[in-house]
Amino acid sequence: MSAEIRALEPNALWNKFADLNAVPRPSKKEARVIQFMKDFGTGLGLETIEDEVGNVIIKKPATSGMEDRKTIVMQSHLDMVHQKNNDTDFDFDTQGIAMYVDGDWVRAKGTTLGADNGLGVATIMAILESTDIEHPAIEALFTIDEETGMTGAMGLKGGILSGDILLNLDTEEDDEIGVGCAGGVDVTAIRTYDQEETPEFKIGYKISVKGLQGGHSGMQIHEGLGNANKMMNRLLFDGFENFGLRISEIDGGSLRNAIPRESNAIVAIDAIHEEAFVSEMNDLANEIKVEYKTMEPDLVIVISKVETPKQIMDLGVQEGLTRALYAALNGVYRMSPDIPGLVETSNNIARVLVKDGHIKIGCLTRSSVESAKWDLANGLRATFELTGCEVEFSGDYPGWKPNMDSDILKVMVPIYKELNNGEEPHVAACHAGLECGILGTNYPDMDMISFGPNIKGAHSPDERAQISSAQKYWKFVLEILKRIPKK
């Protein structure tokens, strides 16, 4: 599999990607990939630094004749989202990614690919290793924990970098030049509840929602993809309203930045209502599948009999929970009035865990407008507090305000047009969290831009990177390096 990837063009890029993907690198468990990058830098004889939070900086002097150009920072994040299909046996803590070529795409076998942001990391590695690529002085910045808190970017202190221009290689459309992004905040609702012994006349059922595509909770939040937590709550709410269904456990979703693909619940119902309950649930499941047949053709909802759970939730808490999850906004809250087609503010109900007397609901609220971000976050807080939950805000990070007068933007747009038969690039902000906004707090004078190759299905096992796009992107990178302005 690795040999197949390494044979792709450009070889330098894909070989470094294969090297990187052999190293386990889930968010918050980056020790091995940090050491890998340090060994890479020192092995090249380059100045290599690990800062106090784990970011790695590798510095390479300008090539001959480029010493008078501005110093650039090339930046990507080391961690990757770890998602896998339910039937895939894989340990992200110990295994490298199993890749294969599928036509014009590189994919992984049942897991996320790590092209987000591994292709950016591999690009920088290839340039650092090269002996024949023209470039100005480079400060390569490899940040940690971008996907689950951006703590690497937040922890990078001022004064470590001296570059004038930052090239962030974390955009996923090859015709796009990013000049802005959304900020975000984690909204977490928790509470405890009393459990009751399940009455003898009740029987157990398991409800499973699976087969959804999932995806990036920012870039794809407007696409109409199914959210397993919202679908599950719809089924539970209906089951209670019509048959007195009682909840024992719910386990739905996983990471805040991934649209939830699966949810499972263990419930109890009156044995006397079993036939009608199964019929009603299957009818509702079919209705939901019809609603989502275009976007979610592989959606599966299974109602299966299981051993009766020993305990169920307090009735009042259950009613409050299902109503709160129904009321809590999921999806787009507001579109940008200034940039056509851009989602301004959204929320992803990413995680619902109910078990052993504890409730935990995790959301990620995003917005390119700070006041709107907090407006939606407070709306969610009010919704969950009405059910007796305690609500915490954490992981707050700022957005990146667009600078349409950027000097590096003025360099890149003509290059893109030259390389692509006069086609205009799409200069835009995105509804994802990029590290540029955070890095800009300590480096306010740094001119920043973001771009990258086509990556589809990021944050899901359907993640794939386009081979022809990587070739287009690589040529773009090399030409940009040649034309960095003079100091």
Query: Average pLDDT of each block of 10 consecutive residues along the chain (487 residues)?
Result: 90 98 95 98 98 98 98 98 90 95 97 97 98 98 93 95 97 94 96 97 97 93 97 98 97 94 98 96 98 97 98 98 98 91 96 98 95 97 98 93 91 98 94 91 95 94 97 98 96
Catalytic site residues? 79, 146
Q: What phi and psi values does residue 64 have, to the nearest 5 degrees?
A: -55, 130
- Count the neighbouring beta carbons within 10 Å of the beta carbon of residue 199: 12
Torsion sign over Cα 436, 439, 442, 447: negative
Cross-strand bridge partners of residue 195 = 313
pLDDT score for 440: 92
Rounded CA-CA distance 429/218 in Å is 12
Question: Residue 89: helix, strand or coil by DSSP?
Answer: coil
pLDDT score for 338: 81
pLDDT score for 190: 98
Domains of the chain: 2-181+399-482 (3.40.630.10), 185-397 (3.30.70.360)
pLDDT score for 449: 97
Residue type, 101: V
Cβ-Cβ contacts under 8 Å for 116 (sequence gap 6 or more): 80, 81, 170, 172, 455, 458, 459, 463
pLDDT score for 404: 87
- Count the neighbouring beta carbons within 10 Å of the beta carbon of residue 274: 14
∠202-204-208 over CA atoms, to 5°?
145
Rounded CA-CA distance 322/309 in Å is 19
pLDDT score for 1: 54
Rounded CA-CA distance 246/388 in Å is 19
Question: Residue 372: helix, strand or coil by DSSP?
Answer: helix
Residue the block writes with tokens 């709410």: 237
